[in-house]
Amino acid sequence: MERKTISFPKDFLWGASTSAYQVEGAWNEDGKGLSVIDVGKTPEGVTDFKVASDHYHRYKEDVALFAEMGLKAYRFSISWTRIFPEGAGRLNEKGIEFYDKLINELKAHNIEPIVTIYHFDLPYELQKKGGWANRETIEAYENYARTLFKYFGDRVKYWLTINEQNMVVMYGAVLGMIEAKSDNPKKELYQQNHHMFLAQAKAIKLCHEMCPGAKIGPAPNIAYVYPASSKPEDVLAAQNFSSIRNWLYLDLPVFGRYNSVAWSYMERENCVPDIEEGDMNIIKEAKPDFIAFNYYSTATVAWDDGTSSSNSTGDQQIVIGEPGFYKGVANPHLEKTQFGWEIDPLGFRITLRELHDRYNLPLLVTENGLGAYDKLEEGDVVNDDYRIEYLRKHIEQAKIAISEGVNLIGYCPWSAIDLVSTHQGISKRYGFIYVNRDEFDLKDLRRIKKKSFYWYKNVIAINGEEL
């Protein structure tokens, strides 16, 4: 049998990612309204998001650097409250103007914009009226999406609906969301979840109507779940966790149904959402064009006999557990980052293969990367070999996955440039470009190319032929 050559497609979208509130700064400038992030509490010892990397004022310099790195795509999010300061109603022209300029700058440098419509920063005015628990937020999101398609749809070909809806539901408090206050907070969460599915479906439908030729998809955080052992109970626990963490968030947009394990979990937990007549049809009719997903690590779980503590203290990649359903355990075969996240490049390939087999849609990686305490050395040098190592191993596995038939259309690591982490400040750096600031000292915010910048530039230049 002929051996398949292992290589990336010619038009592969080599990119990098950011999100608005983590990179832009200018939190109260040019008419921007408050988001839940702006009013949320920052954990002790870490910076807030007010200045971040000051990308709002330095986007031209940043895009020039992205172009120098050879990026074919740049994945960023639009700040909802720059466009609609109150989330709905009054449009802020200045907000449109900023993203117009950013998109034009990217296009002028031949960088494909990949736009996330909503990345954690829900308008505070909507939150005050119940946020995603209120069905009016669906309409507000739909109108916001319509506005983006109207103004930017002529230039943006790739749209992402909601960043990590699954993490918002599971670890919302850690990610800066405002916690549900009802008598049954879990039911409220799954109600919010259902409304997000509806909002997403409406945006998908609108995008197809308004922007022919554009593509749109969901962007959950996907982590393949390993059972701690071959004990059937552990395998059951892995299935449980995977169903509510991963597949729930793709089964809805792709198949238009709640999977049965997730459904029975919601029944067990007394948190089945109220579903109005017609809701499931709206969800079923909207078909995503691709699946975008963020991957940092796999998860490993064991059976839980009912004694484990609940999940709320975990984060995107640290699983605690839910009594009687699954319990997060360390994987003894994996190393960890300085921030305790397991590193699993082979798990990346396993995740890619699983997604391909389950959903049979093109895949786009919208986040993957290593958060570390980088050190700026004499002469403006950052020797982030550990990041290169992490990315190299993941790209290697992506390449093999492609040779195994996975339809992977792009890879956008987190992050294009240093930015403020969701809950661990600016010291947890991910970027190819160093931003000269500390948690509480803004210094000069100058941009410095890290060693990984030059490495990734070469990878892109040779289309990943050698890694």
**Residue ranges that bind ligand BG6, judged by CB under 6 A:** 19, 22, 163-164, 167, 221, 294, 316, 367, 371, 414, 421-424, 428
How many Å separate Cα 403 from the centre of its chain? 26
Task: Report whether 212 contacts 295 (CB < 8 A).
Answer: no
Query: Cβ of residue 256: shortest distance to ligand BG6, in angstroms?
Result: 25
Task: Report whether 2 contacts 62 (CB < 8 A).
Answer: no
Nearer to ligand BG6, 52 or 88 (CB): 52
Task: Report whether 198 contacts 282 (CB < 8 A).
Answer: yes
Pairing state of beta strands 408-411 and 433-435? unpaired
How far from each other are the two terminal CA atoms of the chain, in whole angstroms?
A: 27
Query: Cβ of residue 315: shortest distance to ligand BG6, in angstroms?
Result: 6
Query: Cβ of residue 245: shortest distance to ligand BG6, in angstroms?
Result: 13
Task: Report whether 144 contacts 151 (CB < 8 A).
Answer: no
Query: Cβ of residue 212: shortest distance to ligand BG6, in angstroms?
Result: 29
DSSP-assigned states of every residue in 54-107? -HHHHHHHHHHHHHHHT-SEEEEE--HHHH-TTSSSS--HHHHHHHHHHHHHHH
Q: Report the distance separating Cα 447 and Cα 434, nearest Å.
A: 6
Element (H, E) at 115: strand 112-118
Nearer to ligand BG6, 19 or 53 (CB): 19
Q: Report the distance separating Cα 408 and Cα 462, nearest Å.
A: 18
Q: Which residue is nearest to ligand BG6 (CB)?
A: 421
Pairing state of beta strands 13-17 and 73-77? parallel
Among candidate residues 367, 378, 389, 466, the one labeled active-site is 367
Query: Cβ of residue 419: shortest distance to ligand BG6, in angstroms?
Result: 7
Tokens of 447: 């941009």
Query: Cβ of residue 216: shortest distance to ligand BG6, in angstroms?
Result: 18
Nearer to ligand BG6, 266 or 426 (CB): 426
Name the residue among 68, 176, 66 with its Cα closest to residue 131: 176
Which of helix, strand or coil describes residue 15?
Answer: strand
Q: Report the distance separating Cα 188 and Cα 129, nearest Å.
A: 14
Nearer to ligand BG6, 247 or 293 (CB): 293
Cβ-based neighbours of 409, under 8 Å, separated by 6 or more: 9, 12, 13, 290, 362, 363, 364
Which of helix, strand or coil describes residue 411?
Answer: strand
**Is 164 one of the annotated active-site residues of the chain?**
no
Query: Cβ of residue 219: shortest distance to ligand BG6, in angstroms?
Result: 8
**Positions marked catalytic:** 367
